[in-house]
Amino acid sequence: MKEDSSAIDWEDILNRFSFHTGTIRSFCKENNISIHQPYYRSPQRIKSINRV
Query: pLDDT at position 30, please?
Result: 93
Task: Return d(Cα 32, Cα 35) in angstroms, integer.
Answer: 9
Task: Tell me how far apart the alpha carbons of residues 1 and 3 are, in angstroms, rounded to a whole number.
Answer: 7
Q: What pLDDT, on a 0 to 100 scale, did the predictor assign at position 50?
A: 52
Query: Residue type for 48, please?
Result: S
Model confidence at 46, in pLDDT bands (50, 70, 90)?
low
Q: What is the mean pLDDT of residues 7-17?
A: 84
Residue of 10, 1, 7 lying closest to 37 (CA atoms): 10
Locate the domains of the chain by residue range: 5-51
